[in-house]
């Protein structure tokens, strides 16, 4: 068969028979296995570094300075957003509400935190106080952790991975038909 005004159709792709089923358990339950994944470890690191940066600012004599207040605001934002998302993963809230675009939400939150931490850490390090420099150090570590988490989540979104839940390949049933009667 010729195609006068268009290219020929692509050849068929060999795909395995069957399909994949996505399994979601829609009840909330505590499951600490998320803490062993790279995403869970990064969330814990962000929480710890944000808390340490906040403590450094609050321990300083200049905690009421505008720079310190801004850094405290950013550290609190990172602490609470990462903490709430960590709890959502630990209690399988993400799996229960699987229709929400969790990966995209996390990517946006992490990218915003990266930019906020760049600004906050730079202005507190430039102040010159030892406590502010320590807070800036923890801020930069949090920034790198947020960037790594955003990269992992973007890679998962590109491969169409699920944030929580699993896909099971359904095997085709082999049906034997009896021979036809003469």
* pLDDT tens per residue, range 127-174: 888 999 999 999 999 999 999 999 999 999 998 888 876 666 666 566
Residue 2 within a domain:
no
Q: Which helix (H) or strand (E) holds 157?
A: helix 130-158
* pLDDT tens per residue, range 47-84: 999 999 999 999 988 888 899 999 999 999 999 999 99
Q: Domain of 46?
A: 29-164
Residue 35 within a domain:
yes
Of 174, 178, 169, which is closest to residue 19 (Cα–Cα)?
169
What's the rounded Cα separation, in Å, for the pair 171 and 119? 52
Give the CA-trace dihedral at 93, 95, 96, 97, to 10 degrees. Answer: 90
Whether the Cβ atoms of residue 115 and residue 70 lie closer than 8 Å to each other: no
Q: How many domains does the chain have?
A: 1
Residue 70 within a domain:
yes
Residue 5 within a domain:
no
Residue 9 within a domain:
no
Residue 102 within a domain:
yes
Whether the Cβ atoms of residue 124 and residue 54 lie closer than 8 Å to each other: no
Residue 170 within a domain:
no
Residue 93 within a domain:
yes
* pLDDT tens per residue, range 35-55: 999 999 999 999 999 999 999
Q: 127-144 b/e with 16+ CB inside 10 Å = b?
A: bebebbebbbbbbbbbbb
Instruction: Classify 30 in phi/psi space as left (phi over 0), alpha (psi -120 to 50) or beta.
Output: beta
């Amino acid at each position: 068969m010729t195609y006068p005004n268009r290219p020929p159709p692509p050849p068929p792709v060999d795909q395995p028979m069957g399909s994949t089923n996505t399994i979601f358990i829609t009840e909330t339950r505590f499951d600490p296995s998320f803490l062993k994944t790279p995403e869970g470890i990064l969330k814990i690191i962000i929480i710890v570094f944000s808390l340490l940066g906040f403590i450094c600012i609050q321990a300083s004599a200049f905690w009421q300075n505008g720079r310190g207040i801004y850094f405290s605001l950013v550290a609190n934002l990172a602490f609470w957003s990462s903490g709430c998302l960590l709890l959502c993963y630990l209690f399988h809230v993400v799996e229960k509400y699987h229709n929400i675009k969790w990966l995209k939400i996390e990517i946006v939150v992490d990218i915003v935190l990266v930019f906020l931490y760049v600004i906050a850490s730079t202005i507190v390090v430039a102040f010159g106080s030892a406590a502010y420099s320590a807070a800036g150090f923890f801020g930069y570590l949090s920034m790198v952790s947020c960037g790594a988490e955003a990269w992992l989540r973007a890679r998962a979104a590109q491969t169409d991975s699920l944030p929580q839940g699993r896909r099971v390949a359904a095997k085709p049933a082999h049906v034997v038909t009896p021979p036809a009667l003469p």
